Amino acid sequence: MTHNSHCCAGDVGVERDCSDDVGEIRHADEWASLYTFLAECLKHPDEQFYEDVETGRFEMELTELAESLDLDLPAPPDTVELLPETTAALDSEYISLFEAMETPYAPPIESVYKEWHDGQGSDGLLNGPSAVEMRARYEALDVSPPDAYPADHLALLLEYAAVVVRSGNRDAYESFVRDHFDWLVAFRTLVDDAAASAPFHTYCATLVCDCLEAVRRREGVAGPTDEEVDAMLERASAKTTTRKHDTSHDSIRPSET
C-alpha cells in the first residue's frame, strides 16, 4: 500500500537513540509502519487507497503487520465487501461519518474531546490546546502540518507517533500515547452511535482503537478513567449531535488554519 506520510524521522531530523540504557522499543520499525498504515485509513481516500483495498493489498499488509507484531486483533471483515462502488462514494461515507454530513457523527480530532483553556472559544470544534501543542511539535521539527487536516487530526497524530517510536525514546513514546490517544475510547463510542452508513471507515476507526488499546496494554500506559471518558463524551456529543456539515473555518472538513 502506498503511504503518504507528512513527516518521518529521516525528514525531520529526529535522532534514533540506539543505546541499551533507554529501554528499547522492540520492533520499532514495524510499529512505525503500522502507525503510518493506520494514518492512511483515517485520511480522505484517494484512487490509490481505493485500489489497494479493492485488490486486497490493504488486507494483506494489515495481516503482515499484525503478525510481525504478534497483535491479537479481532478477525477482520472482508474489506473489499465493505467498499462502495467508487472512490467518490467512499469519500462521501468518510464525510458522513467523520465530518458532519449526517448527525450524530464522530470527528477524529482530539480538540473536540478535550477541555479547552479558559477564555477560548468553547463553541468551536477545532484549534483547542491539543492542536496548539501539535503545531508546536511540528514547528520544533521544522515541519508544517498539511492544510488538509487540523494539527490534532487522528491521521496526523498517528503519523507523529510513527516518528516518536522510530526515535527510540520510550518515555516520549509512552507519554505521547498517554496524552494524545486517551480520547479514542470516547471516539469509538461516537463511531458506534453515528448516523452514517459507512461500513469501511467504521471498521477503520475500530481498527485504530483496537491497535492503540493493544499498545496501551503492552507499554503499561494507563487509560482514562470512566469519569474522564464521560466528560469527553459530554463535550463531544454536545457539539456533534446537531451540527450540520459546512465548509466554514470551524467545520470538521479540512482546516484552513
Mean pLDDT of 18-44: 84
pLDDT averaged over every residue in the chain: 85
Residue 125 has pLDDT above 90, yes or no: no
Q: How do residues 46-100 score in pLDDT, each as one tens digit?
A: 999 999 999 999 999 999 999 999 998 888 899 999 999 999 999 999 999 999 8
Least reliable range by pLDDT among 3-7, 162-166, 239-243: 3-7
At residue 226, the pLDDT reads 97
Distance CA 64, CA 158 (A): 19
- Cell numbers 485488490 correspond to 55
Phi-psi region of 216 (alpha: psi -120 to 50; beta: other; left: phi over 0): alpha
Q: Where exactly are the structural domains of the chain?
A: 25-240
At residue 134, the pLDDT reads 96
Mean pLDDT of 135-164: 94
- Cell numbers 480520547 correspond to 183
At residue 101, the pLDDT reads 86
Q: What is the pTM of this model?
A: 0.85
Residue 88: partners with Cβ closer than 8 Å, 6 or more residues away:
none
At residue 187, the pLDDT reads 98
At residue 118, the pLDDT reads 54
The answer to whether the beta carbons of residues 200 and 53 sit under 8 Å apart is yes
Whole-Å CA distances, 180 to 21, 153, 177, 197: 26, 10, 6, 27
Q: Could you give the 3-state DSSP secondary structure of residue 114?
A: coil
Given the candidates 3.40.50.11810, 1.50.10.100, 1.10.3480.10, 1.20.1530.20, the CATH classification of the domain at 25-240 is: 1.10.3480.10
Nearest to 166 by CA among 69, 40, 27, 41: 27
